[in-house]
Structure 1
Amino acid sequence: MNTTPYELAALAVAAVDGLEAVGVRGPYTRTADFQYGGVVDAKGRRWIVKYPLHSIAGTMIEAEAAIAPPLLTALRDGRLPFDVVRPAGFVQVKEGRAVTYVAPMGREHDFEDLTEADAHELGRALAAIHQLPVETIENAGLPSYDTQTSRRRLLADLHDADATSPLPGILRRRWENALEITDLWDFEPRVVHGDIGSDQFMWWDGSISCVLGFGSAHVGDPALDFASLVSVLDEHLFDALVESYSNAMGEEPTENFYNRVVLISELALARWMLFGARRGDAEIVDEARAMMDDLAAEVEADPDLAPGPTWSVSQATPAYADSADDAGFTTFDPDGLDYSDDVDHSDGLGYSDDVGSGDESLDESSAPSAS
């Protein structure tokens, strides 16, 4: 059931002391996890209300609330080149707490429309997140996973998905093989955002003005934050992103890093199916199964792909493959869906000064992912 724009506005009034709402403002968005609405107060300030649609989404709002103070500390210390969401108030709802915050400056920019300069900017933003001290996560009480725990979590999800609805055999063997390669999981755990998608970044004048949706943030595998990008960005843009990321980090990604990126992006299909099964959403399950069947057919047609996902280019020249297939990985993307590794927790609305007041536009979206 949808919560109306006026009901969302009422929640904002209840959540923030002294907020005098004078109107609602679109766009209004509903995802698999959250519903959003805009509110304008008597001083002309614009607010966003974020309403959880299930208990997992409610838990993510609590994680965002917990990490907000250390992120703001990092911002003040000059560690972040972009703003972050500042929760202003909460109110109890059925599935947890709804949060209200001042609408961030900027607007969304679809990753499929990025320029090379935008890709460089995104790479620098990811590096800034990955360079945050692990205390940012620890002080917020959020999870921290070492290399083997990261691997075991993916393996557990794979087995759970297979038990829920048997996976194509060629994919299950391909993924299990990769998850059992010890050297592949040799990485330095870093702070990761955990839910990279175009809806999590607000842009202003060519720069990222705000990063949203840190509800899946944790210490873990930095490859996770690239998994949704490898299937949605053209190769020259992905190369530009990695170039700026590498320059900011002061080190080149290893071949194992690239291989984990590809593996995680593919495993997102199984995790998406598992998410749908746990939600009792047959449409999500069927969608994920159809995509896995297509991917299985593609892998079966090329025996070289069967042993496991690989990025079979030299570490020094990943930018010069002519196509995804030439690079030795599969970027299967039917119907424009991207394979983000976590649930599509769309955390931002692209408010700008030219948004029409009072227009309601409901965009129901979902992406292959899981929490």
Structure 2
Amino acid sequence: MRRKGWEAPRPSLERMSRHRFTLAALATLAVPGLDVAVTRTFTGGGEGQHDAALLTDAEGEHLVVRAPVDQQSAARLTAEVGVLEVLTPGVRARLPFAVPSTKGVLPAPQAVVTSYLPGVRLQPGAVGADSALAGSIGRAVAAIHELPTAVVADAQLPVATAADCLRGVEDLIKRVDSTGDVPLELINRWSDAVADATLWRFQPCVVHGGLAAESLLVSPKEDPDSRVTGVLGWAGLQVGDPARDLAWVLGLPEAGAASTVLDTYTAIRGRNADTALTRRALLYAELEIARWLLHGVERRDAVIADDAVQMLEALLASALDGTAGTLVGERKPTLTVAEVERMLDARRQRASGASRAPLAFHASRSSASE
């Protein structure tokens, strides 16, 4: 769709990726005394969010150096450095997977050097129903959510209440509605979810804040006990809605895989896992498309915006044919005035009968004693 006043992005040579040797040089400035023996191109640095290289020092230790490509990626790197400091050895001991450690920072930041975590990026299609990997994902997410909230609060990282989360969703719906690109049926669908009080009765917990398939490192597929070995991308750590970290799980392609992840998760968290968790996760998953649309609109990028519109149209089709799932809980029928009066009369009669019962009991005891 051609958007008035917008231009499709054109190829540009304004910013070329830094060469791995340039990144290695930045790493030596960030980590005094670092002796780089081998430098390799690293494709796991963040899908274009950063320039990255994999380094091996003279002692054989592997390190990752990342440099921001714009102000947004610089902000993410800065935030992640702060979070990794919060994840102390004591906190990390509570997690069944590895977390990167910061080795050095070149201010601004021009570059950040962290430890390298072995493993392969999770491929959603590799998660089977009732598989060890699906169970491991559920345990990994639950472990994050079971961390003490003081870990986040004491570090003055964001702490949101359930009401804050609700207001955030309301604001997002208003913003995306103002674009005029979202079908009214979807706006109504999301607004109905916002109005469903049962959806927002949950206890906020520590959340990763940006969890997705690409955040997880897993053992090689040859490993019969495939599991999550590491988690990346910690810039968004906060106290918030646990459903945000589970939204991506609902998109796992194999039937039953998402159920295995969620069943494992809820079994570990017990009462801390609210009954509306899956419905909120579905809402957040749908709203990710809305965020993608806003991203395109704010950047005046017709390619991104049109892609989001197509995704919204596909979502609408799924919502209309019932395959998108339900966001709103089952509503109980509203009682009529007469039904309410009969219910109150029945309660009064039961209360009256209960109050007389002890008198009859005492009377029977009295007659028996005589």
Q: How does 1:152-167 map to 2 (within 5 A)?
A: 152-167=167-182
- SS at the partner of 1:83? coil
Distance 1:164 1:32 in 2: 27
Q: Is the 8 A contact 1:74 1:80 kept in 2?
A: no
Amino acid corresponding to residue 309 of structure 1 in structure 2:
L
Q: Deviations over 1:249-275 (max 9, x none)?
A: 123844421111111110110011112
Cα separation, 2, equivalents of 1:64 and 1:145: 19
> Which residue is equivalent to 2:348?
none
Q: Which has the greater radius of gyration?
A: 2
1:101 is paired with a residue whose SS is: strand
Which of 84, 99, 106 is equivalent to 1:84?
99
Q: 1:9 and 1:282, CA in 2 relative to 1: closer, same or farther beyond 3 A?
A: farther
Matches within 5 A, 1:106-185: 106-115=119-128, 116-185=131-200
Deviating beyond 6 angstroms after TM superposition, the runs of 4 or more aligned structure 1 residues are none
Q: 1:272 is matched by which residue type in structure 2? A: W
Match of residue 298, structure 2, among 269, 278, 283 = 278
Structure 1 residues not aligned, in runs of 5+: 313-371
Cα displacement (A) at 1:13: 1.4
The CA deviation string for residues 268-297 of structure 1, in whole angstroms up to 9 with x for no partner, is 100111123334433222211110012123
CA distance 1:273–1:35, change in 2 (3 Å):
farther
User: Quick one: distance in 1 between partners of 2:306 and 2:199?
Assistant: 31
1:32 Cα deviation from its structure 2 partner: 4.8
TM-score computed with the length of structure 2 as normaliser: 0.76
In the alignment, residue 116 of structure 2 is paired with which amino acid?
A
| Inter-partner Cα distance in structure 2 for 1:311 and 1:18 | 59
Aligned to 2:368: none
Partners of 1:25 and 1:37 within 8 A in 2: yes
- Please tell me whether the aligned partners of residues 262 and 311 of structure 1 are also in contact (alpha carbons under 8 angstroms): no
**Aligned-partner SS, 1:3:** coil
2: CA distance, partners of 1:232 / 1:281: 28
**By how many angstroms is 1:233 displaced?**
4.3
* In 2: Cα distance, 1:288 partner to 1:160 partner: 15
Query: Contact between 1:63 and 1:142, CA under 8 Å: does it hold in 2?
Result: no
Distance 1:44 1:266, change over 3 A: same
Q: Which amino acid aligns with 2:125?
A: E
Q: CA deviation at 1:122?
A: 0.7
Label 1:69 to 1:290 Cα distance change in 2 as closer, same or farther (>3 A): same
Q: 1:276 to 1:142 in 2, by over 3 A?
A: farther
Is 1:234 the counterpart of 2:269? The answer is no
Show the counterpart of 1:62. Answer: 78
Relative to its length, the structure with more helix (as a share) is: 2
Once the two structures are superposed, residues 49-92 of structure 1 have per-residue CA deviations (whole angstroms, 9 ceiling, x without a partner) of 1222332322222222222133223345x311222110111124
Give the AA of the match of 1:239: S
Q: CA deviation at 1:97?
A: 4.3
1:105 corresponds to: 118
Counterpart among 5, 8, 29 of residue 14 in structure 1:
29
Q: Residues 202 and 299 from structure 1, CA distance in 2 versus in 1: closer, same or farther, beyond 3 angstroms?
A: closer
Question: Alignment partner of 2:142: what SS?
Answer: helix
Using the TM superposition, give the Cα deviation of residue 106 of structure 1 relative to its aligned residue in structure 2, in angstroms.
2.2
Hey, what does 1:200 align to over in structure 2?
215
Q: What secondary structure does 2:192 align onto?
A: helix
Stretch deviating more after TM superposition (28-37 or 236-245): 28-37
2:245 maps to a residue whose letter is D
CA distance in 2, matches of 1:156, 1:83: 35
Q: Pick closer, same or farther for the CA change 1:305–1:202 going to 2, 3 Å.
A: closer
- How does the TM-score come out when normalised to structure 1? 0.76
CA distance in 1, matches of 2:232, 2:314: 33
Q: State whether residues 13 and 20 of structure 1, in contact with CA within 8 Å, keep that contact through their aligned partners in structure 2.
A: yes
In structure 2, the residue corresponding to 1:24 is in which secondary structure? strand
**1:327 maps to which residue?**
none
Cα RMSD after superposing both structures: 2.3
Q: Which runs of 5+ in 2 are unaligned?
A: 1-14, 331-370
The corresponding residue for 1:45 is 61
Q: How many equivalent pairs are there?
A: 307
Aligned to 1:214: 234
